[in-house]
Homo-oligomer: A and B are copies of this chain.
Amino acid sequence: MRRLRDVGEHAWIAALARRLAARPADRRILVGPGDDAAAVRPGRRPLLVTADALVENVHFRAGWAAPAALGRRAWAVTASDLAAMGGVPRFAVLALEASPAMRTADLDALVGGFAAAARREGARLVGGNLVAGPHLAITAAVIGEAVGPLVTRAGARPGDRLYVTGALGAAGLAVRRLAAGAAARLPDPPRRVRAGRLLARVASAMIDVSDGLVQDVGQLCRASRVGAEIDLGRLPVAGACRRALGGRAAAFAARAGEDYELVVAVPPAREPALRRLTLVGRLLAGRPVVHVRAPDGRVVRVARGGFDHFRR
């Protein structure tokens, strides 16, 4: 079993660059992995740029997910930021921090999972960096293109409706179980690049649900200078979450993070034509406060939810 300390940084990168270069040529890639930088040929559209990270013992613990699933996840959480603006990912670079004792087969699987997930959404891994460290940390930067309207967090108006894609709560439930030492499978984040692109045609504002619906809608509200009301009874709660938590499932799903679904504000005159999209609330004039309304009509306090890396 070969480990990073046996192979070394340079030999591992050279082997990876050869494998990535062996794929069918892509005319957009002028210089691929293995040189000082990658050179790519963009289209004539505006570029979108973002970076995100998965850090061991922060976002995951050893054994929570297979290396390939971690790679897919690193891709998904980063591409999700582009999806939330209506952008389409094109190129990615991957900066890895790994222990010298890490098996090279695991690191290969991680990068392979990332590269495969990127290709499935039309993007290519074109470069990166590898350093030794005490833990595994995966930082991805993704470059995409705005193929249609650019949707920020800042365009929502009072009266706009709030929709969410897919279902919420399954990832948060898995994280809670895994953190407690129970068996659970951390689900792969959904692929929402296509949905984001379609929603961008009608959206006034959009954000992805990474830190929890209530918190992320709060971000959208602050950027747009509006308030919001979310109807707990309308929330698309994931089946696993509903089965596990029963009557408390919707309140849990409203503040669970890691879903990587899209929340989108749509003016009432427009109608989003997308399956698996659920109306969950509306935007209000006034302070950027998110009110959560229970099925009986009362406004409930959802415990200050969501994720902040430095405040627990």
Known: A9-B310, A10-B308. A139 touches B53 (CB 8 A): yes
Nearest CB in chain B: distance from A253 CB, A: 21
> Does the CB pair A127–B30 fall under 8 Å?
no
Q: Say whether, besides A8-B310, A52-B95, A150-B30, A82 and B47 are in contact (CB < 8 Å).
A: no
Q: Quick one: given A50-B93, A141-B95, are A134 and B132 in contact (CB under 8 Å)? A: no
Q: Cβ of A311: which chain B residues have Cβ within 8 Å of it?
A: 5, 8-9
A283 to chain B, nearest CB (A): 17
CA distance A7 to B153 in the complex (A): 22
Asked if residues A37 and B144 are in contact (CB atoms below 8 Å), the reply is yes
Interface residues of A in 166-205 (CB under 8 A from B): none
The distance in angstroms between the C-alpha atoms of A291 and B137, with both chains bound, is: 37
Residue A159 at the chain B interface, CB threshold 8 Å: no
For chain A, give the interface size range.
35 or more
The complex places the Cα of A270 from the Cα of B126 at a distance, in Å, of 32
Q: Does A309 contact B (CB under 8 A)?
A: yes
B49 touches A129 (CB 8 A): no
Cβ–Cβ < 8 Å partners of A87 in chain B? 37, 39
Minimum CB–CB distance from A279 to chain B (whole Å) comes to 22
In the complex, A252 has a CB within 8 A of chain B: no
Inter-chain contact B131/A53, CB cutoff 8 Å: yes
- Annotate A99-132 by CB proximity to B: 1 below 8 A, 0 otherwise: 0100000000000000000000000001111111
- Rounded to whole angstroms, the CA-CA distance of A8 and B308 in the bound complex is 6
Contact with B along A198-225 (1 / 0, CB 8 A): 0000000011100000000001001100
Q: Does A84 contact B (CB under 8 A)?
A: yes
Which residues of A from 265 to 279 have beta carbons under 8 Å from B? none
Which residues of chain B come closer than 8 Å to A41, judged between CB atoms?
Answer: 46-47
CB within 8 A of A97: which of B39, B55, B91, B207?
B55
Across the interface, A85 reaches (CB within 8 A) one of B9, B39, B42, namely B39
Nearest 3 pairs between A and B by C-beta? Answer: A141-B141, A37-B50, A132-B309
User: Could you list 26 A-B pairs, sorted by A, with CB under 8 Å?
Assistant: A8-B310, A12-B310, A36-B206, A36-B208, A37-B49, A37-B50, A37-B84, A37-B87, A39-B47, A39-B85, A39-B150, A40-B46, A40-B48, A42-B46, A44-B44, A47-B91, A47-B143, A49-B91, A50-B93, A51-B95, A51-B139, A51-B141, A53-B129, A93-B141, A130-B309, A141-B141
New contact pairs (15) apart from A37-B84, A49-B126, A55-B132, CB-CB < 8 Å: A7-B310, A8-B310, A8-B311, A10-B308, A35-B85, A36-B85, A36-B208, A38-B50, A39-B47, A40-B48, A50-B129, A51-B93, A51-B141, A129-B139, A137-B137
